[in-house]
Structure 1
Amino acid sequence: MSKVYTVLTGDLVGSTELSTEVLVRARDALLQAAADVGAWEADLVKGEAEFFRGDSWQLLLTKPRYFLRVALYLRAALRRERKGLDTRIGVGFGDVERIDAHRISLSVGDAFTRSGRELDRMGDAVGVAVALPDKTGDKLGWIQPMTTLCSVAMNHWSERQADIATRMLVPDGPRQADVASALEVTRQMVSKTLVAIEFSAIESALEWVEGAGWEKSLRMAKVRFV
């Protein structure tokens, strides 16, 4: 069974309407968030996230089970930077034939192809969309609805809500009291914010996605296009 990688391809929403200063801030925020993801677990990220064509970016993950947490984390990191900042994300699972660690967008493989095509298919939709390998729909058809529900849940987060959520999205992340201390607010305020954004539901979904044995179906699938 071949190793399955996960590629996230995205672009900044409404980038042509952003000032140069805001665009740079958005890019810096997303690149920093991707670097944070790389610190979650050894070898989780291959190479570094890279921007290309100005507002498009790619990130390569070695462990598919983290795809949803990473996608939500990246979107939340943009939202906490400035209201209205966001990114569309196409997620692709599959083989990677060549990895260019210095310029990840020059890497080659089905995971990259699927991810890019899924982003193109999204059109103007904002959120996260997933492209699965062929013949896995009967076993993995739940992935897109689960992803959509979690992604939609964060569409109206404020900067403060996104800031708190971003901190809590880190695997084995801090306690609410630690977040409150870092932000110099009360623990009750953090708790109320998490209740308001229904974070417990997102957390439950992430725990299920990361704990279920669905990655075996990916590894056993014929990951090339027909």
Structure 2
Amino acid sequence: MITAIITGDIINSRKAESTEWLPALKGALNQYGSTPKVWEIYRGDSFQLEVSAEKALYAALYLKACMRQYKNLDARIGIGLGEKTHSAGRITESNGSAFRHSGECFDSLKKNTLAIKSEWPELDQEVNGYLSLALLTIERWASNASTIIKTAMENPQLTQTELAKKLGKSQSTISESLTRAGYDEIMQMEKQYRNLISHR
């Protein structure tokens, strides 16, 4: 059974008050289960999360949107796909190839702030190619656009008009922000990732 382990940290965390971004990070991680079994925050600004392999990229993009709502902040994320051979009460004490791949992927991040590692080199090469391109756009997401993206990802069933109402903005603002952020194209990439995973 393949699972995904996300290892991440907050870029520029020391430049902002943790009281500002920490509740948002916890809120985002809580969408996937409870701490400390499914997720844990450690060393102040590092985190680990277990999700299904299919949901891994969506979760990583969602976490980036949550952090990019705050000026100068972002999340650096390594996704590891593999097995979980030991399940402990705390995720940081569990292990298996998914954990190993996640740690290695995270440690190898240099310029890119999001990558994946699995036991399938051709899958990694394809997905990381997509991510390198997507990051050119993601790393330009402004804080207001990130709030819109986060809300859109939390409520995929809402139309732009409904999103506008929820956020107290005009529909044209929502439309322009999502277009500029490459939202549809990035979601298309996420769908392609799920498609590749479903064949494993």
Fold shared per TM-score above 0.5: yes
Aligned-partner Cα distance in 1 for 2:99–2:155: 25
> What one-letter code is carried by the residue in structure 2 that aligns with 1:10?
G
CA contact (8 A) 2:77 2:115 kept: yes
Matched residue of 2:86: which SS?
coil
**Consecutive unaligned residues in structure 2, runs of 5 or more:** none
The aligned counterpart of 2:65 is 76
Task: Call closer, same or farther: CA 1:84–1:34 in 2, change over 3 Å.
Answer: same
The aligned counterpart of 2:8 is 10
Q: For residue 54 of structure 1, report the CA deviation from its aligned partner.
A: 1.9
Aligned-partner Cα distance in 2 for 1:142–1:91: 14
TM-score scaled to structure 1, two decimals?
A: 0.80
The aligned counterpart of 2:197 is 214
Aligned-partner Cα distance in 2 for 1:178–1:37: 24
Aligned-partner Cα distance in 1 for 2:124–2:103: 20
Matches within 5 A, 1:179-218: 179-210=163-194, 212-217=195-200
Q: For residue 126 of structure 1, report the CA deviation from its aligned partner.
A: 4.8
Task: Call closer, same or farther: CA 1:170–1:152 in 2, change over 3 Å.
Answer: farther
Alpha-carbon RMSD across the aligned residues, in angstroms, is 2.2
Aligned-partner Cα distance in 2 for 1:139–1:76: 24
Matched residue of 1:180: which SS?
helix
Q: For residue 121 of structure 1, report the CA deviation from its aligned partner.
A: 1.2
Aligned-partner Cα distance in 1 for 2:137–2:87: 34
Matches within 5 A, 1:8-87: 8-15=6-13, 17-19=14-16, 22-38=17-33, 47-61=37-51, 63-80=52-69, 82-87=70-75
Matches within 5 A, 1:118-137: 118-123=105-110, 125-133=111-119, 136-137=120-121
Task: Call closer, same or farther: CA 1:201–1:47 in 2, change over 3 Å.
Answer: same
Matched residue of 1:58: which SS?
strand
Q: 2:152 matched to 1:168?
A: yes
Aligned-partner Cα distance in 2 for 1:121–1:28: 28
> What one-letter code is carried by the residue in structure 2 that aligns with 1:12?
I
Matched residue of 1:185: which SS?
coil
The aligned counterpart of 1:112 is 99
Task: Call closer, same or farther: CA 1:140–1:118 in 2, change over 3 Å.
Answer: closer
The aligned counterpart of 1:94 is 82
My pick for the range that moved more, 139-148 or 155-164, is 139-148
Identity of aligned residues (%): 25
